[in-house]
A = this chain, B = another copy of it.
Amino acid sequence: MTGDARSGSYHHGDLRRALAETGLELARASGADGVALREVARRVGVSHNAAYRHFADREALLAEIGSLAMERLTAAMEADLATITDDDPVVRARERLKAVGRAYVAFALAEPGLFGVAFSAKAGHAVDSPAGPPVDVGPYGLLNTVLDELTAVGYLAEDRRPGSDVACWAAVHGFSELCLDGPLRLLPVDLRDAALERLLDTVDRGLA
């Protein structure tokens, strides 16, 4: 632990991290709207305004929290990805793609607050490059990895590779949003799962 809070002392020790982490708890419980600067400061045991020594404004704190949330999403996806153990390379690659999608949606549904913060703020790295070395970190990085496997294995043609990342991403992201705040929020779980499988199947077929 590099940053213990030295309790009792005037200076906190690692306030920035403390703020971000309790902010993450707030976000987990109530989403972005539940993250109030003053409330976070209160929980950390520091005066309001202390946060301004470490974050320009609320948006900046939210961005930091978003980064942490994104890390958790990435970790969850990596864990799920590791469970795929098919032998046939093509089947394996296709299942890995589906696993990535399922993990993405599962995290969104399990942690709606974190998912929202991860994407709401202008936090995460934005994608603006044409097609150079694509982002190789975070959920998008994992997706690109799996899609590359899919082309290496011959399932996804080279010339159909560009743009496939966005297509996959959009599908699972949209599904998540529709189920969280959107019109699908009342859909029973079994139907929801079925719809997700249908979605993954559609993408799997449509890519090739």
Q: How many copies does the complex hold?
A: 2
B183 in contact with A124 (CB, 8 Å): yes
Within 8 Å of chain B (Cβ to Cβ): is A186? yes
Q: What are the residues of chain B within 8 A of A201 when measuring CB–CB?
A: 206
Within 8 Å of chain B (Cβ to Cβ): is A167? yes
B127 in contact with A202 (CB, 8 Å): no
Question: Closest residue to A168 on the B side, CB-wise?
Answer: B202
Secondary structure dominating the interface of A: helix
Q: What are the residues of chain B within 8 A of A171 when measuring CB–CB?
A: 167, 170-171, 174
B175 in contact with A170 (CB, 8 Å): yes
Q: Give, as a whole number of angstroms, the nearest-CB distance from A105 to chain B.
A: 10
Q: Give, as a whole number of angstroms, the nearest-CB distance from A206 to chain B.
A: 3
Taken together as a complex, chains A and B put the C-alpha atoms of A62 and B152 apart, in Å, by 49
How many chain A residues sit at the interface, stated as a range, is 35 or more
Question: Closest residue to A163 on the B side, CB-wise?
Answer: B198
Q: What are the residues of chain B within 8 A of A204 when measuring CB–CB?
A: 206
A174: contacting residue among B120, B127, B175, CB under 8 A: B175
Within 8 Å of chain B (Cβ to Cβ): is A82? no
A119: contacting residue among B124, B163, B177, CB under 8 A: B177
Please, what's the 1-or-0 string for A165-197, where 1 marks a CB less than 8 Å from any CB in chain B? 011011111111110011111111001001101
A170 in contact with B166 (CB, 8 Å): no
Within 8 Å of chain B (Cβ to Cβ): is A68? no
Q: What are the residues of chain B within 8 A of A181 when measuring CB–CB?
A: 119-120, 122
Question: Closest residue to A135 on the B side, CB-wise?
Answer: B183
A182: contacting residue among B119, B162, B167, B186, CB under 8 A: B119
If A126-B185, A174-B173 touch, whether A166 touches B206 (CB-CB below 8 Å) is no
Q: Given contact pairs A163-B194, A170-B173, A203-B203, enumerate 14 new A-B contacts (beta carbons under 8 Å).
A: A119-B181, A122-B185, A126-B185, A164-B198, A166-B175, A166-B198, A167-B171, A167-B203, A170-B170, A171-B171, A172-B174, A174-B177, A201-B206, A204-B206
